[in-house]
Every structure is written in C-alpha cells, then in structure tokens.
Amino acid sequence: MEKSGEKEKIMVHTINVEERRFVYGEFLTINLSNGEIEELPYVLIGGDHGLNAMVSIGSIVYVVGGLELEDGKKASIKPSNSRVNNKKEFLYHHGMSFIDLNSSNSGWKSAPCYRDTPDYYSTSVSLGGKIYSFGGSDYAGIFDPVVQNWETLLPPPEAGLFDIDTLTEVIADPDNNRLLVFFPDPICGYFAYYPDENRWERDVNSLPWSPKHILVADGGLFFIYVPKFPNVFKVYDSVAHQWLNVEFTVPFSMWRYKFEAMVYLGNHLICLLADFPTHGGDKNITNVFLCKFRFVRSPTHLIFTVFPIETYPLKSRCTSIASYLPI
C-alpha cells in the first residue's frame, strides 16, 4: 500500500537470452519497505530484442509491444525445461498482456493489439487512465482499457511524423495533464499534447535529451540524470521556464556508480536504479542497486537529501533488466 502518495514497490521486468536466440522475460516486485522480493506469474515475452514497455493504470500493469506469436514462431527456440518447470500455465505474450496486482494469482491475460497486429512499441506511457504507445511510424496508438479499444494519435502538423526510436522516452506529465514528446531534426524540440483538448503545442526547445535518464514530476519539473555531472541532476522548471540550482544537504559524489534508470516514487522522492550480475562459487544472481533522493523546493533551488544505497539480490541471474516501474 502507498503512504502519503509514495510508491512502496518497484516492479521489475528481467530479460534472459538462451543460446543467443531466445529472449524471454520474467516479472517480480521489490518491496522497498521490507525488502521482500515476490515473483509474479510467468509470461513468455518473445521477439528478437525484447522490445516492449511496462506501464500501469491503478493496480493493473500492462506490457505493450513485441512480436511474439502464440506458437512461438518468432522465437528461434523454445525455452528450456528448466525455465518452465514448476511454472503454472503461462501465457505467450502477443503484443499486449496485463496482470492485476490485486489478484496476481489469476495470472496474465491478453489485451488487443494496436491495429490488431503485434509490433514494437517500446515507448509507452499512461496518462488519464489511457495508454499511449509510440513506435517508429508516423502515428501512435491510444488504448482505452475501459472499452478495450485503440484509437490513432496523429503527430503535430509541424513535425509531420513520429520519429520515435527504441531509446526515446515520451514523458507523461500528469500534474499538467499532458504528454511531452521530443522530435529530432529539423524540429529538435518538445511538443506537448493535451488529450482533453486533442491539441499539440510547441513546448521546451532547449533541454538536453538523454534517453531513459529524464522524467517529469512535481508540477512540471524536468529531472535529468547526468552521471558525470558533479551534482548528479539537472533540474528545469517547465512552467516557470528556468533552470534550478541543485544542492545537497551534505557533500555527495556519485562517481563510483552509473545508474541505468530513474523513476519517481512520489512525495518528492527520486530513485536511481542499476543491476549487476554476480558470478563465482554459489553466487549466480543479479543485484539491483537503488539510491533514493528526497528533494525540497525553494524559488530558485532544489535541495536534495541522499539516502544510503540499497541492494536487492534477485533469486536468479538475468541477462539484463528491461524496465522498472514504481507501483
């Protein structure tokens, strides 16, 4: 359960590769309050690169994208028996799957694909109870889970098309009820989409773009994680259109760590995450490293308090972690 609007769990999507040909995923949750790690029911995520996104609406988590077929044809080989032994009946992911965390024992279920065709939509976000999925094409899909139906979102006329690659993040800004989408050359800037008005508007143009290392929180603040930057974060107020000075309550350095993901846990709490496999002896596991930062706002400053780095050993080793989702 959440307290004071703060997320207490992080859902993790692991990626594993067998014989360099088969990509599949497992899902688990990390409880940040007591350290417990819970494995979720198995779902087989296929495709050549495991390109899919994980988003949540309430207690329901959706996995969007990927080209797995029910008969596994897109996978070059079947998973080994060691991966499926002791697993209950599981689902072959087919473009879009979901699980209700309030009744996770019931397992994963299928949802309709955009245009009824599984595709790579690795950039997806939720906003206002709907899912917005972007691929490399000139249009994007909007999924309404209430009616189980997709609609098409057209790009702003100035941009011409969505040129979204697998490293690009489309950012949800729920405090201002908008999406922020970065368009490369020749636009080279952000457009904001306001779903209530079905309207695009040119927004911030000068922010540095760092795939998967940027988020928007707390009323429209851009948090940009810059590993080599002395103060770790750059912060931009997109409402007041000004950069904020970053300070720490005590001297702090992150030079020994390079984190791979950043999430907002709510209640002014930013979280950086990374994963590292451990080999040798009886150890064949993956550790998730997590560092929290609590911030306080003044008119021109953002003051951070950093918490000690936490380590969560997963029960098995994975090739990599595809995504983290605060829940």
Residue predicted with more confidence, 282 or 263: 263
Percent of the chain topping pLDDT 90: 34
In tens, the pLDDT along 144-203 reads 999 999 999 988 888 877 776 655 668 899 988 999 888 777 777 788 899 999 999 987
Given a contact cutoff of 8 angstroms between Cβ atoms, the answer to whether 123 and 114 are in contact is no
Q: What is the CA radius of gyration of the chain?
A: 20
Q: What one-character DSSP code corresponds to residue 252? A: -
Cα dihedral sign, 162-163-164-169: negative
pLDDT at 292: 94
Residue 149: C-alpha distances to residues 112, 116, 132, 310 (Å): 7, 10, 12, 41
Say whether pLDDT at 46 is over 60: no
**What is the number of alpha carbons within 13 Å of residue 32 lying toward its C-beta?**
25
Instruction: Work out the average pLDDT over 247-260.
Output: 77
Assign 213 a pLDDT band (cuts: 50, 70, 90).
confident
Say whether pLDDT at 9 is over 90: yes
Residue predicted with more confidence, 325 or 68: 325
Q: What does pTM read for this prediction?
A: 0.86
pLDDT at 67: 56
Instruction: Work out the average pLDDT over 99-128.
Output: 83
Residue predicted with more confidence, 319 or 243: 243
CA 188 to chain CA centroid, Å, is 23
